[in-house]
């Protein structure tokens, strides 16, 4: 530190110098304020007002963040509104076309092609993305959420996954049954000799718990020759008893009910002369037997009428159910499918170390045809054919073990299915089974027959596997466990929570959020896709039954495309998007107004007034100039000049 020597006037001189420096700094600051328009380049230079500046800037940054989020979501929301409105328009166009058009085979082909194009367009809309974000994928926004039209319709043959066509076809087949009678069966009970009357035609159902086909309600007749009655028994059964040859124009009626509870009445009129293929009539025969069993008799006419009615009303119902079940499938809840048909033959343990495979007297599933001689000497085989009775008895095959078979010995079972296709099952005895057609050799003959992996267990397992090749028309149940692989058309986020809108929550204000998410598998969207997809593959033949099917299908689909107000609707989804968009626009306008007010406040804190700054600077320049001149004059002052 330097210690200056004291001299008279040194302190005053130092103070004058400091004053000049301070005024010069103040002048420089005013020049900067005039150039930048800011009071200070740092928050510290604002003094106590820096708190207000920081607070206002923080609020403005928050509002700007909200606005940026709203701007980013607005484009997406506008496109989502357009997509849902277009899907709704496609549904309305399809419905109008169905209600306006009649049954025409050629025109129906055109309608099918139009439905396909609408389906393809809808899938393209649902796979739209904005800035790499797929709009209808829930939280899985990085990949397209919907499969292609070809994969949806035809499935994946390599992966063994069925598509919509197969699912619809098998459900319709299960509904109609192998003979097209809507899972009903008919039989004629003839009088027991020496009686010659009456002949009773019986129709048998499957009970209310059976998932497919018709239920029976009642039969009735006019005239004195035929009588009917209400359904009775379990499963239910109705009859038409022909006590005498009916008169011309006598009628018989059969009332059926589908699984939705709708009833249908089949009425036939007795005629002396009936042309081949004529509907709604049956031929009066020479006697009761001919009236019932003749080629155009009562039984043939009723079966034809039931087939036509099944095609006309059961098939479209099944097609719509199958389409809706297909599109309702998720990774957690696979689509419901027609279960594999039962083999209709069962394996059981019988006394004497015997495994028995027995039929069930039905014409469905497998029928036992016998066994080959390609077996061990220790395995005796016996085939017993069915007995007509009374009492009737089913066919069966016995495999009796007289000892423990050797490794490699075989058991051969011969079957045929309803279509007459032969099947052969060969099981091999193994000490250590390795394949699906092996059975385990036990320590005794009894253990070999009835063990956990013995002959009966192997027969049961193999028969069930073989039954997977049977027609869906023989199925007796639905399966919702995913046993039958089905293509999942929707690949996006399909969690049950959160809701579709909440998969993309957008905060637009401090305490206000809106849902901007969507899933392509929302109920309203998937119902729309189910109807359009069904129409895009539906074909019709030029028959009266197919005409009724077309009318029934068109009516049902039209109703599905315009659901009641309390059901999921596409227009409701569009309205939800529009509500969110309105909330976003309102919030953005509020933020714009608030930002303007906050900017005014910030300007008052940070901005320097040009007029005030110029006036202050002019005043300071005047003072500084006067001080310079005074100092200059004093610096030239001397005793000589003073004198």
Give the pLDDT confidence score for residue 55 in this predicted structure.
Answer: 66
Give the pLDDT confidence score for residue 431 in this predicted structure.
Answer: 94
Give the pLDDT confidence score for residue 38 in this predicted structure.
Answer: 55
Residues paired with residue 219 on neighbouring β-strands, in sequence order: 254
Range of lowest pLDDT (155-159, 235-239, 607-611): 607-611
DSSP string, 134-201: ETTBTT-TTS--B--HHHHHH-BTTTTBB-HHHHHHHHHHHHH-TTSSTT-EEEEEPPPTT----EEE
Is the predicted pLDDT of residue 3 greater than 70, yes or no? Answer: no
Where residue 62 falls among pLDDT bands split at 50, 70, 90? confident
Is the predicted pLDDT of residue 143 greater than 80, yes or no? Answer: yes
Backbone angles phi, psi at 189, to 5 degrees: -95, 110
Mean pLDDT of 316-322: 97
Q: 3-state DSSP helix/strand/coil percent for the chain, to nearest 5?
A: 45, 20, 35
**Run of H or E including 532:** helix 523-535
Question: How far lies 292's CA from each of 38, 181, 248, 273, 278, in Å?
Answer: 109, 18, 15, 15, 16
Is the predicted pLDDT of residue 49 greater than 90, yes or no? Answer: no
Where residue 462 falls among pLDDT bands split at 50, 70, 90? very high
DSSP string, 67-125: HHHHHHHHHHHHHHHHHHHHHHHHHHHHHHHHHH----HHHHHHHHHHHHHHHHHHHHH
Give the pLDDT confidence score for residue 36 in this predicted structure.
Answer: 56
Counting residues of the chain whose pLDDT is more than 70, the rounded percentage is 82
Is the predicted pLDDT of residue 552 greater than 70, yes or no? Answer: yes
Instruction: For residues 423 and 278, give the distance between their C-alpha atoms in angstroms, rounded to a whole number.
Output: 39
Could you identify the residue written with the tokens 């005014």?
A: 600
Mean pLDDT of 226-235: 94
Cβ-proximal residues to 340 (8 Å cutoff; 6+ apart), any chain: 464, 467, 468, 470, 475, 479, 483, 484
Backbone angles phi, psi at 202, to 5 degrees: -110, 140
Give the pLDDT confidence score for residue 43 in this predicted structure.
Answer: 52
**What tokens were used for 383?**
């085939």
Tell me the domains of the chain and their CATH numbers.
75-146+490-581 (1.20.1330.10), 176-324 (no CATH), 346-470 (no CATH)
Could you identify the residue written with the tokens 């009917």?
A: 228
Backbone angles phi, psi at 552, to 5 degrees: -65, -45
Upstream peptide bond of 198 is cis (omega within 30 degrees of 0): yes
Instruction: For residues 80 and 553, give the distance between their C-alpha atoms in angstroms, rounded to a whole number.
Output: 31
Is the predicted pLDDT of residue 5 greater than 90, yes or no? Answer: no
Instruction: For residues 332 and 335, give the distance between their C-alpha atoms in angstroms, rounded to a whole number.
Output: 10
Phi-psi region of 125 (alpha: psi -120 to 50; beta: other; left: phi over 0): alpha
Instruction: For residues 404 and 571, give the distance between their C-alpha atoms in angstroms, rounded to a whole number.
Output: 72
CA-wise closest residue to 61 among 512, 511, 599: 599
Mean pLDDT of 30-56: 56
Is the predicted pLDDT of residue 632 greater than 70, yes or no? Answer: no
Mean pLDDT of 573-598: 86
The answer to whether 126 and 490 have CB atoms below 8 angstroms apart is no
Instruction: For residues 129 and 79, give the distance between their C-alpha atoms in angstroms, rounded to a whole number.
Output: 9
Instruction: For residues 617 and 27, give the distance between their C-alpha atoms in angstroms, rounded to a whole number.
Output: 6
Is 100 exposed, middle or buried, given 0-12, 13-18 or 19+ CB atoms closer than 10 A?
A: exposed
Range of 48-57, 348-357, 610-619 with top mean pLDDT: 348-357
Is the predicted pLDDT of residue 347 greater than 60, yes or no? Answer: yes
Give the pLDDT confidence score for residue 199 in this predicted structure.
Answer: 94
**Mean pLDDT over all residues of the chain?**
87
Give the pLDDT confidence score for residue 118 in this predicted structure.
Answer: 96
Range of lowest pLDDT (350-359, 384-393, 493-502, 562-571): 384-393
Is the predicted pLDDT of residue 571 greater than 70, yes or no? Answer: yes
pLDDT in tens, 584-594: 999 888 878 87
pLDDT in tens, 249-283: 999 999 999 999 999 999 999 999 999 889 999 99
Mean pLDDT of 292-304: 96
Give the pLDDT confidence score for residue 111 in this predicted structure.
Answer: 84
Mean pLDDT of 490-512: 90
Handedness of CA 543, 544, 549, 550 (dihedral sign): positive
Backbone angles phi, psi at 52, to 5 degrees: -65, -40
> pTM for this one?
0.83
Range of lowest pLDDT (90-94, 413-417, 484-488, 635-639): 635-639
**What tokens were used for 336?**
């419901």
Where residue 68 falls among pLDDT bands split at 50, 70, 90? confident
Mean pLDDT of 232-261: 95
Is the predicted pLDDT of residue 300 greater than 80, yes or no? Answer: yes
Give the pLDDT confidence score for residue 363 in this predicted structure.
Answer: 83
Give the pLDDT confidence score for residue 588 in this predicted structure.
Answer: 85
Mean pLDDT of 214-238: 95
């Amino acid at each position: 530190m330097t210690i200056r020597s004291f001299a008279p006037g040194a302190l005053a001189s130092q103070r004058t110098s400091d004053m000049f420096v301070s005024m010069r700094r103040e002048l420089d600051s005013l020049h900067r304020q005039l150039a930048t328009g800011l009071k200070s380049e740092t928050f510290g230079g604002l003094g106590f007002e820096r708190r207000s500046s920081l607070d206002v800037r923080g609020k403005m940054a928050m509002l700007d963040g909200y606005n940026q989020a709203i701007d980013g979501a607005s484009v997406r929301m506008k496109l989502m509104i357009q997509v849902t409105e277009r899907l709704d328009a496609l549904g309305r166009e399809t419905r109008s076309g169905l209600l306006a058009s009649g049954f025409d085979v050629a025109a129906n082909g055109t309608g099918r092609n139009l439905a396909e194009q609408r389906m393809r367009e809808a899938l393209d809309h649902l796979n739209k993305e904005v800035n790499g974000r797929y709009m209808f994928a829930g939280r899985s926004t990085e990949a397209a959420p919907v499969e292609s039209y070809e994969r949806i319709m035809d499935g994946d043959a390599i992966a063994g996954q069925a598509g919509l066509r197969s699912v619809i076809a098998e459900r319709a087949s299960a509904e109609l049954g192998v003979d097209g009678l809507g899972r009903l069966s008919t039989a004629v009970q003839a009088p027991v000799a020496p009686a010659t009357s009456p002949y009773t035609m019986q129709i048998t159902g499957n009970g209310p718990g059976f998932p497919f086909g018709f239920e029976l309600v009642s039969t009735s007749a006019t005239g004195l020759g035929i009588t009917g009655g209400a359904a009775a028994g379990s499963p239910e059964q109705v009859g038409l008893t022909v006590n005498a040859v009916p008169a011309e124009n006598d009628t018989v009626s059969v009332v059926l009910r589908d699984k939705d509870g709708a009833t249908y009445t089949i009425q036939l009129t007795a005629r002396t002369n009936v042309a081949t293929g004529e509907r709604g009539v049956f031929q009066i025969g020479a006697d009761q037997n001919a009236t019932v069993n003749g080629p155009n008799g009562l039984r043939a006419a009723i079966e034809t009428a039931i087939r036509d009615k099944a095609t006309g009303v059961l098939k479209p119902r099944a097609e719509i159910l199958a389409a809706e079940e297909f599109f309702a499938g998720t990774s957690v809840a696979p689509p419901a499918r027609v279960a594999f048909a039962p083999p209709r033959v069962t394996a059981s343990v019988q006394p004497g170390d015997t495994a028995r495979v027995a039929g069930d007297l039905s014409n469905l599933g497998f029928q036992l045809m016998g066994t080959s001689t390609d077996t061990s000497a220790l395995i005796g085989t016996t085939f017993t054919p069915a007995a007509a009775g009374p009492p009737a008895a089913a066919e069966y095959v016995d495999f009796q073990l007289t000892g423990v078979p050797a490794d490699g010995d075989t058991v051969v079972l011969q079957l045929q299915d309803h279509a007459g296709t032969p099947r052969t099952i060969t099981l091999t005895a193994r000490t250590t089974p390795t394949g699906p057609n092996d059975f385990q050799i036990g320590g005794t003959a009894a253990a070999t027959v009835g063990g956990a992996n013995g002959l009966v267990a192997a027969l049961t397992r193999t028969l069930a596997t073989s039954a997977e090749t049977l027609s869906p028309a023989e199925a007796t149940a639905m399966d919702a466990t995913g046993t039958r692989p089905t293509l999942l058309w929707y690949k996006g986020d399909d969690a049950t929570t959160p809701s579709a809108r909440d998969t993309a929550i957008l905060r637009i204000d401090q305490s206000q959020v809106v849902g901007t998410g969507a899933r392509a598998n929302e109920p309203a969207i998937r119902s729309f896709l189910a109807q359009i997809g069904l129409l895009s593959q539906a074909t019709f033949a030029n028959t009266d039954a197919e005409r009724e099917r077309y009318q029934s299908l068109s009516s049902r689909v039209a109703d599905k495309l315009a659901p009641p107000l309390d059901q999921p609707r596409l227009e409701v989804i569009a309205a939800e998007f529009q509500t969110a968009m309105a909330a976003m626009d309102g919030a953005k306008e509020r933020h714009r107004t608030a930002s303007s007010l906050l900017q005014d406040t910030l300007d008052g804190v940070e901005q320097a007034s040009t007029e005030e700054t110029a006036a202050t600077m002019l005043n300071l320049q005047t003072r500084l100039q006067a001080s310079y001149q005074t100092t200059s004059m004093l610096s030239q002052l001397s005793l000589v000049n003073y004198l």
